[in-house]
Every structure is written in structure tokens, then in C-alpha cells.
Structure 1
């Protein structure tokens, strides 16, 4: 009763509180929903450049565009290192674009449509030349570039149009940036005094004798370094220890899953069996398609196109000759000579490509191609029909493919035009559609061969991989921190390896190719964390522990202590040797007397210039050579600490260069040197001011 009475008496207040809580919950859930959008936005940023947020979507589109261009230039797919290069290059482009764009917009620098057309097609930039270089001539192919741009608007996927818009933006911004940098370069100036100093520094000669007490003369075990020594060197050289980006160091153990001896024997037995099958095969193309790991179409190839082992025998062997089995490129291979013939070295041809997708199917495309071929055979103009019916970038050039050698086109097309005769007009189906082809010219003549190659990669068996993985799993089950990691490695006598100062976007480290997944984990871990997963990298299973984090900015003494140890040792050795040198200098009036006391030879040196401060046989000695050029001839120097040791010298004399006459020429040389430094220096200053934040490691 007490509880029920309590509820009745306070029912109004309870209802009000309940309604209030419901409203708060509703508002809070709405705030969370909207807030999650902000959080999602933040998580989708690859970085911030000068206050401008760069979304993953925008950045990744550019990465994909650049990757497509890179593939077109390099051919084939991109490996981890290539992909990393593309990502890095895209990021640098975006930094440059954002940072310099803000500067150029302030100044009103722009590129007009006429100028843009000129630098893309008439006087193309290096970027345009690289993309549209004719492989046969090595020259810029203007027609191909213009035709590609025109056909971009008709590309149903829209991908080509996007690539062209990105390319135009890149070329335009590149020219704007050039104008901006030219303005700065025009402000770089060298006066007559600068020119005179440069002339003297490069041409005034000095002759001197020296005695050196080299640091190597004191064994490292005789040098006791203190914390004060490290601190002294660090304080004097702190400017050297600026870390431009955060780096991380980790230790790892790897368990080898490479093919065992048994795996090798089984692979050899398999290729032996395949060899017998290839020897008796009556359909070699089908046999290769069924049995080869690498499915390559069989085409005629010229001398030098085959790998060296085959190239040396197949051009003199009889048809049906079997070479192998042999081992090459981590695979067992066997090759069969199918045919030899004498054929042209290059072909000039033109074509009209009919696209089945726009014609309603391959049969309708074939019928249309046959009709066009018949019209041409009766005298119709090939070029006009190509412009009217062609669907690829060659249509505006009348279907002209130019002159090309073997390997420039897909195998089926290539076999047809190299195996046909001049003047032949025919149709051909390929993966691109139906072609109407005319062979206009065949140039040269040489022997070519068609070789069937069956390869079987040498790979570890599932049993080999399972054994290695079980070892890795056993190790991982015993460790949860750095101390346990080190103890387990020592107990199992497993060699620990180190990934030192690894950057956030590094794709590989020595000994581990394509280690991106491992590096990505490293940048989510805290110091001392052991990886919870086993990384499958190449033929190794890897477990890692994060041991060190070096933040962006000036590194601490602890971060660089190991790195600077040799330099600190030399600093302490310099003190010891300087004390020895100072004693030898007491009461000495000549370098010969000092040398006698120290038991060291006097070494003569001639023709040293200030601009190249290298002492022959030793090292670059900026401080020592600088001191020499400020010394009086005949006077015994004090002890000078250098890079290789402690020096004492006597200047024998200077040889002044001829009178300084051509001031204008030297000024021009000095200004040219300064101008060459402008690009990098300006961008570096602007980049530092832009306060760039890089989050790419979360995504790539």
C-alpha cells in the first residue's frame, strides 16, 4: 500500500519526468544521428591541406584516374609498389594543386581556352607527350590525342570523359603554376658582388700542408660516452632531427611457408607429365589454355621477343620441337615449337570498328560490317565510311591505324594483318567488336615463330602452409606484450627482424614485399602492442610488435640516441685528440715539429677551391677548408675539429684567378643556379605554412 500511495501522490511529477526524458531521448537520438554524419565525414577524410578537407571519394577518384594512366603507360596491372607510387604522386599533385591554386587565385593568374588547346595539342606539355607518344616514331601523336578527346563525349561509361577533364585540369594548373613560379624566379637577383664571390670561390686556389689525427685511430671501446655528451651533441644539432612525418619501428618474426623439397619434387613430376601431353597434343592452343597457369594466346613472335632460353633454340629448331622442362621465374615450364614462317616486320593498315552493343548484337554487327566491306570492294571511300560508321578513336582519321610492329595489337588482330596480303579487305571478330580491315602495306621480312608455353608455378602445398601457420599460431598464443614476445623468440631461437622508421604509407620493407596490411596495423597500434592477427605476406606468416613511435616534428634525444652515437663518439674523440694536438703545438714553430711530436706525416695538398671543400683521400671538410681560406700564409694553425679527425695546417700560398671581367655571364650563372632552387624551396615554404594533415594511412 505504501508504494501504491507514493505513486498516486506523485503521479503528475512522474508523468512530467517521463515525458521530459522521452523528449531528451528523441533530441539526443537526433543529435547522435546528425553527429554520426559529422563523425563519418571526419572518418572519410584523407587529409586537410591549408584548411581544405580532402574527402576519400574525391581523392580516390584521382588515384583511380592516375592509376589508369599509369597502367596505359606501363602496361599490365600495378603491383603494391606501383600502387603506392600512384597514391603518393596523387597526394603530391593534390597538395600542389590546393596550395598553389590559392596563391595563383590571389594573383589572378589564369589560362585561356586557346592557350589550353595549344599546350595540350600544338605545343604539348611533357605530361601530354608521355600519354600520347607514338611507340613506332617516339613522337607526339596529335591526331590520336585529338580523336581521343572527341570520342570522350561518346563513351557510354563516361570514364574517358572524366579522365580527360582531370587531365585538362592537371595541364591547366601545371601551366598556372609555371607562371606563378616564373614570377618568383624573375624576382631572384644576383648583383656584381654575388658574381665576384662566386667567381673567386670557384677559381681561387690554395696550397697547404696538414697533419691529421684521425678519429679511427682511437678504438670505440676506449671512448666512454656520458648522457652529457649525447645532450651536448643533440643541443648543437637539434635542427638536423626534424621528422617530416611520423614513423614507427616494429620487431617481427616470420615463419617460412616457401615450397618444401617435397613440393618441388611434386611440381617437377607434374611438369614431366605435362611435357608428355604437350608432345602428343594435336590442339596446342587448347592444351595451353587447360594446363598453363599463365593463359597466353599463341602468336607469331620475332627474334628477341621470347625469353633468352627459348630465343636461342626455337628459331633453328624443327616444328614440334620440345624444349624443357626448365625452371624460370619461379615456375617450371615446357615449350613446343608449333610453326615457323617468314613474315613482315611491320604493317600499315586501317579499320572500321562496329560495336555490337550499339547494333543489337554480334550478328547484326557482323552483317553491317559485311555490307560496309562490300561497299568498299565496289569502290566506296574507306575513310568516309570510317568517319560515318566507326566507333573508336580512329574514325576521324579515316580508320588509319598507322604503321605498327608485332606486339602492338591484340593477338587475333595481329595474326590477321601480319598473315594476310597487301590490299586484302576482310572482316574480323575480336573482343572489341567486328572490324572491317584493309592491309595497306607490309614492311620488311624476317623469320617468326609460334611457340606454345605451359608453365606451372612452384608453390607451397597446403600441408607446407599449414605447418608454417601452426608454428605462427603457436607463437602468437604465447605472447601478448613486448616482454613475452622477446622471451618467446629467444626460447624458440627465432631470429627477430626489424622494420625501422617505417612511414605510414610504406608498401614494403626489406625482406617483406607487399607488407601494406602489416604497416596499416602498425599505425593503429600502441607502443608495446603485439599484432592480434597473423599476417600472410608472400611466402611468410608474420607476427609483429610495435616498439617505437617517432612523432612528426623535432625528435627527442631518446628517439635519435642510437642514430647519433657514431657522431657523439667522434665529438668525444675530437676532444681527446685536440688535447693531444694542443700539447704538440706548445713551443712548436712549424708544422714539421708538430708532426714529429705526434708521430704523424705532413701531407701536402694543392689546387683546392672554396666551392669544393674536399681534402683528397679523406672527406668533405667544410670547417677546415673554410678556416684555411681565412688563414695567413706561413702561419701555424691551431687544432681544428673536422669530419675525419683533428687537423693542424700551414697555408703555403694562394693563387688568385685571372681578373674578373665577364660580370654579366657569371651573374647569369649564379641567377640560373638560384632559379633552379626556386621550385622546391617555394613549395616547401608554402607546404609548411599550409599545415598539412595526412590521414591516408587509414585507407591505403
Structure 2
């Protein structure tokens, strides 16, 4: 298939490596038209990274270039969740590349010509080259294929699409190498000294044994605690750094009226399929019947046992040709299936082919294939002709050999020819790739296979069902306002569903799989607004109300008050429990006496390490364990406010580990962990410094 075929077949992999499968569905929203040129420019800006504006057109250009390849990776159809994931991945890639490019430019980091050449074709090429040119049969780098591509690129004319694609691939590798150098500059500057190694060793190996008494927060009923505004403010002030919002988030609630297929709808589809079943039995053109009547236009191919729907797998291998099964329900559809043919066929085939491009017209390609067939039948070498004429250069170098493959590995028309022919036979078939001259080298195994035609009709809602659900939603919308949303929902017999902290790019929401239109409205509305329309989300008809807006930046106390209430309540409880334990400490000389006075249970904790601050049966208790390792044995502690309650403890003793003998190894382990963490921390620091602004919600 030549260099274009290689790039077409491998570009999915290449683009995944270079830009992280940059695909998402761009649906341009209503962009406000501003008068001044400055505002017109902002109206097309999808993001700002430092001082660099990323325009919608630039972003969309990347999408257009990679959409087809990415869709192939996902079989053509992608769920909203996958689209959202790829969208986020694409944005992160652009942000990281822009930031790193700016930083590398400041340092004048370069990859020289000789280094670039070595990355592509040197003794140890870049991992992306190795991955892109690995022979799937041997698992090794295919140097011949790589050299063939390099030769074709070198001979290509300027402006050739193939040359541009290859240049982009290579530039990606060079940029990746520059980024690697930049990260190395940072990680090579990290240092772990001997004291840090010793501290880390002791944190993992020094053991503490102690006894403690705790008064759990749950032991004090919530109704016995009064939380004041000062309590909220105090907690908020101390933990304000935890309430920094990296992006605007919104919460809303909605009511959905279900328009899913009714029982009557399902029976109507079933009746339709039953009628088709009678026609299916008498038709003489099964393939055409499927194409005309089926919702899913699947090609007719032979299948082994286990490859059909379970309902068919149990009947078709014992039925006679022409047998029609169904209607049966599967995958949200009613289906009927007809056994076209049953035979014994090979399990695998070894074949070779010569691919002729149909770019000049299918008639010319077929004529050329027939001519080559006659030459081979007259004694010419198939292998030599494949090397000369085949557009599939990957197999051409092997004399056209495709190796051995099983059913389902090739396109249907190719598989039909290879599996239903005989050893040594030459066949000419046409696929979406062009015209193939196939030689069947060998056929192995033997098992029964069947060709089954399936006609399916999706169980969908009727217009009557949809209109009824939409009518209920419209009636609800006509009565609802900001203040009576809950009351009107109750009157309509509908459940109000809350959805919290949605970002502007969300597509899938709880109970709503594809809700982009709804999310766009939510981020245009004001807090308290009720939607002015009924949103159609799948089979659901939705009316929504915005309940909260959390802006980017540090959130106010009012916005986090509900969120922090449990922690604030525990802090208020801690004050009461601390007083109780402090009273128990007065006059006590042992931890057992404290437990008896406080009415708590005395518990031991054995072999606790600082690096894993867990009290068995309770969970993580950072403050308590940290305090333990800073205490002297035999002394009663002061009350310590923990995660689960308030504690008083007494250390029985510490078990020190053997002296650290290999400081170098310990330092290397810590340095390796530090280097791994530093890469993510480095990017986050650069991202914060760049002051990234994300306006994608206006466009997507």
C-alpha cells in the first residue's frame, strides 16, 4: 500500500504518541459578537496560556487533522464519556506543549541534526520509532520497513501530504526529546543527603508501642453540639488553602420526564419484525434484504461457534439452510436471523496478496489485477510481481505474504475469498483498500462455520410516547419558577435530582449520558435560574434549575459552609472531649487511670511506624502518630485531637532498627521516588505560573 498506506495504518498509533489521540466533537456555541477588534479576537480565543492565545481555529485544525484516525481507534462511534476524556487529554497536551516550548526556548534547548538523525535511524532509535515500526510477528524493529519509509519520504516532492505527515511525526519526536532534556535539567538537580536517607530509613523501620484511650466524636450526639459562626470562620481561616477552585464549578437540580420506549412501543417493533420474518423466509437476495431492512448493515460472513449472539449460537449450527429464527430481543433491538449456509471450513489461512490502488478507477485496477493473474498463471513469480506492483509495501517486501490469520482478521470480502477458496488458488477481489490479487498458500484446521444474515430493528420510542413525556415536561415548565421548583416537582410526581460541582465541559451527568446542551445553558445562566426550555437528553425530557455557582479562585465561606460542616462539628466536639480527658488526666499517673475516669476503653497499639500512621481498627491518625514519635516513654500525653476522636496515650517504648549500613542504596531509592514526583509537580508549578485560562466551555 506504499508509504501512504503505512501512514494510514500506523497514523492512529503515531498520533496517540505525538498528541495523545487529540479528538473531540467540536460544536461551536453562540459566540457573542463584540464591536471592537480586541473583543472580536477574544470571541475566537479558546484559551490563554501565559501571553499566548489559543484560537478556536488552531484548536479545530488539530481536531480536523486527527479526527478520522482517532475515530478509527474507537470504531467510528464514541460515547460522551470517551469524547470528554479525549477532549481533556487534548487540552492538557496543548497546555503542556505550549508551556514547555516557552520554557525550552528560554534555555535555548535544541536537538542537533546529528542527534535528530540518530533518534530516527541510529543504533538506538527513539521509542516512538521502535513502537511505530515494530514487526507484530517478530516483536522486533523492522529496519527494512523503516528504511523504505525514509527512502520514500526523501524522494517525495515538496507539498506531498506524505512528506508533511512524516515531518510532523519527526517534529513530535524532536520536541519530545527537548522536553526530556528540560525535565532532566530539573531532576538532575535534585539531591538526597545522608541525613535524609537516615530519617527515611528510621521512619519506615523504627517501631513504636503505646497504649491509648480515645473518646470518639460519634460518642457525642450531634444534637448536643452547637456550631457558631465563629467556629465556621476559624476552621475556614485555618484551611483556606483547601478551598482554592481551579476552575468554575456549578451545581444544579433537575426533573426528568421519561420518554423511554413503552410496552406498546416494544410490541409494535416486535410486530414489525415478525412481518419482516415472513418476507425474509421467501427472499432470494438475503444481502440486499439486510441492507434495505436492517438498522445495522452488517456484511454477511462465516462465523465459528461462539462468534454469534448466544441466542443464535445454540440453534444455527444444527439448523438447515434457509432456517429463520426470531424475533428475539438482544442489545435493545428485536432481531431475526436467517441461516444462509453452513459448511466445514478452515480455522486459519496463510495467504499472500498484491494490492492495486483504485485511485485511477476500479476498472483499470481490475484490469491490471487480471493481467498480473495471467502472468502468474503463465509462470511468473508471484513474489517478484508483488515486490514490483503491490501498493502494500509492508507485505510486498515479503513477496506479498500476509502470514497466517484467523477469521475476523481481514475485511469481509478478503476473508470470504481466502477461507472459501482452495490451496494454491488465485482470486481477485475488491475492498475499500483497492483491488487484491490473492494467492491462498495454505489452509489449516477444520470446523463448521455458518453464514447468518441478521435483520435488527431498534426498540425506540414512538412519537406518541415522546409527545406524552414532552407534554408533561412542558406543563411542568409552564408552572415552575425559582421559588417553587421542589413543590411543583412533587405535584407532578417527579423526583428532583441534584448534581453538584459540574465543570463547563461535562458531557455525561448522573442519569444523563449526553447533556452538553444542558451544561452550556447551566454555565450561561445565573444562580436560581430555571431553564427556559425543555432539554432533550436521550429519552429524557429535562427541566433544570441552577442552585450554586463556585467561581474560579478561593471560594468564600458561604460556598463551602455545607462542605465543612462535619469537620467543624467534630472540632467543636473535640473541645468538649478534650476537657473531659483533661479532667481525667488531673491526678492520674497511668493511662489505665485516665481511661477509667474518662469512661473510655484502654487499647494497645503495637509495632507502629511513622511512615504508615495507622492505628489498627481506627485508620489514619497523622497527629496522634506524629505526637507519639516525638514523646518520651512512660509519660502521659496531653489530649490530641485526631481524625476519629480525641486521644491520650502513653508510650511503652520504641524498637530501633539495625543501623543503616547502605546509605547509597537508600539515597538512590529516595531520589528515584523524588524524581518521579517532581515531573508532575514541575508541570503543575509551570502551569500555575503560566496563568492558564480555559474558555473551552464557550465553544464545545
Q: What is the distance in 2 between the residues matched to 1:290 and 1:384?
A: 43
Alignment map for 1:546-561 (pairs within 5 Å): 546-561=546-561
For 2:452, what is the secondary structure of its paired residue?
Answer: strand
Cα RMSD after superposing both structures: 2.8
Asked if residue 582 in structure 1 is aligned to residue 582 in structure 2, the reply is yes
Task: Tell me by how many angstroms 1:385 deviates.
Answer: 3.5
User: Matched residues in 2 for 1:285 and 1:270: separation?
Assistant: 19
Q: Is the radius of gyration larger for structure 1 or structure 2?
A: 1
| Residue number in structure 2 paired with 1:175 | 177
CA contact (8 A) 2:34 2:43 kept: no
- Structure 2 CA distance for aligned equivalents of residues 410 and 310 of structure 1: 23
Output one character per residue of 1:557-603: Cα deviation in whole Å (capped at 9) or x when no partner: 11111111111111111111111111111111111111112222211
Partner in structure 2 of residue 424 of structure 1: 425
Q: SS of the counterpart of 1:650?
A: strand
Moved more, 458-467 or 385-394: 385-394
Q: Deviations over 1:178-207 (max 9, x none)?
A: 221122111111010010000000000011
Q: Any idea what the Cα deviations from partners look like across 1:524-576, whole Å, max 9, x if unmatched? A: 22222222232111110112222211111111111111111111111111111
- 1:684 is aligned to 684
Alignment of 1:239-388 (within 5 A): 239-358=241-360, 361-388=361-388
For residues 191 and 418 of structure 2, the distance between their equivalents in structure 1, rounded to whole angstroms, comes to 61
* 1:156, distance to aligned residue in structure 2 (A): 13
Q: Pick which of 500-509 and 397-406 moved more.
A: 397-406
1:191/1:311 CA distance change after superposition, 3 Å:
farther
In the alignment, the residues of structure 2 paired with residue 320 and residue 471 of structure 1 have an alpha-carbon distance, to the nearest angstrom, of 47
**Structure 2 residue ranges without an equivalent (≥5):** 1-32
Write the deviation string for residues 424-479 of structure 1: whole angstroms up to 9, x where unpaired.
Answer: 22221223332222223334444332222222111100110011112222222334
Distance 1:218 1:144, change over 3 A: farther
Residue 436 of structure 1 is matched in structure 2 by 437
Per the TM alignment, residue 313 of structure 1 is displaced from its structure 2 partner at its CA by 4.3
Instruction: Confirm or deny that 1:615 pairs with 2:612.
Output: no
CA deviations over 1:143-181 (Å, ceiling 9, x no partner): 667767777898999766655444333332222212211
Query: Secondary structure at the residue paired with 2:89?
Result: helix
Shift in alpha-carbon separation, 1:393–1:219, aligned structure 2, 3 A: farther
Deviation at 1:138, TM superposition (A): 6.7
The alignment partner of 1:506 has SS state of: coil
Q: Is the 8 A contact 2:206 2:654 kept in 1?
A: yes
- State the match for 1:8 in structure 2: none
Ranges in structure 1 where 5+ consecutive residues have no aligned partner:
1-32
C-alpha change, 1:129 and 1:334, in structure 2 (3 Å) is farther
Deviations 1:410-430 (A, max 9, x none): 111111112222322222122
**1:211–1:649: 8 Å Cα contact kept in structure 2?**
yes
* DSSP-derived class of the 2:636 partner: coil
Q: Does 2:116 correspond to 1:92?
A: no
Secondary structure of 1:606 counterpart: strand
Hey, what's the Cα distance between the residues in 1 that align with 2:554 and 2:327? 58
CA distance 1:78–1:132, shift in 2 (3 Å): farther
Q: Which moved more, 1:96-105 or 1:434-443?
A: 434-443
C-alpha contact (below 8 Å) 1:151/1:392 kept by paired residues: no
Check whether the contact 1:248–1:503 (CA below 8 A) recurs between aligned residues: yes
Structure 2 distance, partners of 1:310, 1:120, is: 51
The separation in 1 between residues aligned to 2:269 and 2:349, in whole angstroms, is 42
Residue pair 1:147, 1:394 contacting (<8 A) in 2 also: no
State the aligned residue count: 665
Map Cα deviations across residues 64-95 of structure 1 (whole Å, 9 max, x no partner): 44443433333332222222222211111111
Q: CA deviation at 1:508?
A: 0.8
Q: Could you give the per-residue CA deviations for residues 258-290 of structure 1, whole angstroms, max 9, x where no partner exists?
A: 011211221222233333443444432222222
Counterparts of residues 400-415 of structure 1 (less than 5 Å): 400-415=401-416
Aligned to 1:187: 189
TM-score for both structures, normalised by structure 2: 0.88
TM-superposed CA distance for 1:311, in Å, is: 3.4
